[in-house]
Structure 1
Amino acid sequence: MINILFDVDDTLYDQLIPFKDAYHEVFDQYQYNCSIELLFVKSRYYSDEVFELVNAGKMTKTDMHIYRISKAFESLGIQIKREDAFLFQSIYESNQKKIVLHPEMKEVLHFAKCLGINMGVITNGPTSHQESKIAQLLLTNWIKEENIFISGKVGISKPSQKIFSYVQEKMGIIPENSYYIGDSYMNDVVGAKKAGWKSIWVNRRNHPISNEMEYNPDYIMDAFNSPTSILKKILIKNSIKL
């Protein structure tokens, strides 16, 4: 039997939607000439850059939130006020309380559950913040609560191999039969591959794919390959009847 585990942010739901709505509410007044999607991608990059500092208590979550959006704007040649960065984060967090599953992800969750496939979640972030997203997305309709692992609660975060090993032990699964679906190349693809898992990269933002990548995903979810079609390929490859 195969195991399918999911990332949460920008994998199970489209994180650009609450980001874009917050941008319009705070920054439209300035009429900045920039791509909101590019700003979002850069914000995620700067968030990952300081994530371990927050975990280690060397940076507050508030400072991290202000840093990532300020640096994202700065990389596009725009300086923003600290109070605008703070307001943006406040509205962004509020918008995340309205998130919904991406339709393709809802479809694959239902498909996998109907087939009795073992599923789980591994997500980076503070416990209460990630738990509220998990509740909003109603994930326990498809995934057992004991199979949901949050870095803030576990004390280990992706891309460390240790969190994948921890999940293996808790779920009683083996790497060879385990597939991890996530949007971050470094956290999700590299993390899973280093742990010996198979990787499904959610490349919704059309990140460049290079033949020189140290770790290649086993499958790529993009405009041409839906998660359900990829899962069907995996099932056929593993001689599992649909």
Structure 2
Amino acid sequence: MDAVLFDVDDTLYDQREPFERAFRQLFGETYEIDMERLFALSRKYSDEAFEHSQSGQMTMDEMYIYRISKALKEFDIQISDEDALKFQEFYAGYQKQISVSEVIKEMLTFCRDRVPIGVITNGPSGHQWEKIETLGLGEWFLDEVIFVSGDVGTAKPDEKIFWYACDKMKLQDAEVWYVGDSYRNDVEGAKSAGLYSIWMNRRNHPYPVSGVRPDYCVGSEEELYRLLQKLL
């Protein structure tokens, strides 16, 4: 392993926490719902909607409405567009309170002291940089090795964003590993670009039908740290 690059959302922090807090603030205990499944569905529809927003087929507000509304419909719950946008407002607010765990801090320090490290993350530039600042990732990553799709002009799973990051970090001929939670964006994207892949599977998702497989799969921050210690 010559270098390791990381996703941000639900990889370097637990994204379900601000999601659940926003849901409870808006709906209280109105719905008895499997929050883990709702969050997973929201992430699935978020990935779909993000692609549409990137191509100009959907505005950001339409994307926010789509992902939570579609997820709730799978529980036979219908909400108004107004409530969907209110949920997003609360969600964005709680994302300003996110933090990285002590395990992630130790892991990033361990990696940084041994190999070049960087970040590749999908999302609008301002939104992602705000999260990066809130998480304090500047302690481990220089701005020059943080690649946000909104800045680069292409997004995961497009192999071009992985190649772009490797080119900027002068890692063209290196053994580069990528860690991320999204199977399509992170595992399939990294593998298509010729990188090694570690699937951060916090949610214990089953393997998709896709023939692409990560080099490793981990289910927790502790397991990820142990694996990186072994590989480095």
TM-score norm. by structure 1 comes to 0.91
Query: Shift of residue 29 of structure 1?
Result: 4.7
- In 1, the alpha carbon distance for the partners of 2:101 and 2:222 equals 15
Letter in 1 for 2:118: G
Equivalent residue, structure 2, for 1:240: none
Structure 1 175/50 Cα, relative in aligned 2: closer, same or farther at 3 Å? farther
Structure 1's unaligned 5+ residue stretches are 236-242
Equivalent residue, structure 2, for 1:209: 207
CA contact (8 A) 1:3 1:119 kept: yes
Structure 1 26/191 Cα, relative in aligned 2: closer, same or farther at 3 Å? same
Query: Shift of residue 104 of structure 1?
Result: 2.7
Equivalent residue, structure 1, for 2:12: 12
- In 1, the alpha carbon distance for the partners of 2:161 and 2:72 equals 32
Correspondence 1:132-151 to 2 at 5 A: 132-151=130-149
Correspondence 1:42-53 to 2 at 5 A: 42-53=41-52
Letter in 1 for 2:195: W
Aligned length: 232
CA contact (8 A) 2:103 2:222 kept: no
CA contact (8 A) 2:103 2:221 kept: no
Letter in 2 for 1:77: D
Structure 1 179/126 Cα, relative in aligned 2: closer, same or farther at 3 Å? same
CA contact (8 A) 1:104 1:226 kept: no
The SS at the match of 1:80 is: coil
- In 2, the alpha carbon distance for the partners of 1:232 and 1:109 equals 11
CA contact (8 A) 1:199 1:217 kept: yes
Match of 2:230 among 225, 228, 233: 233
- In 2, the alpha carbon distance for the partners of 1:232 and 1:12 equals 16
CA contact (8 A) 1:175 1:196 kept: no
The SS at the match of 2:48 is: helix
Query: Shift of residue 213 of structure 1?
Result: 3.9
- In 2, the alpha carbon distance for the partners of 1:107 and 1:95 equals 24
After superposition, the CA RMSD in angstroms is 1.6
Structure 2's unaligned 5+ residue stretches are none
Letter in 2 for 1:226: E
Match of 1:199 among 192, 197, 200: 197
Query: Shift of residue 106 of structure 1?
Result: 1.6
Is the deviation greater in 102-111 or in 194-203? 102-111
- In 1, the alpha carbon distance for the partners of 2:156 and 2:148 equals 10
- In 2, the alpha carbon distance for the partners of 1:86 and 1:209 equals 32
- In 2, the alpha carbon distance for the partners of 1:151 and 1:196 equals 19
CA contact (8 A) 1:2 1:178 kept: yes
- In 1, the alpha carbon distance for the partners of 2:158 and 2:101 equals 27
Deviations 1:131-165 (A, max 9, x none): 00001111111112100000000001000011111
Between the aligned residues of both structures, percent identity stands at: 48
- In 2, the alpha carbon distance for the partners of 1:33 and 1:18 equals 18
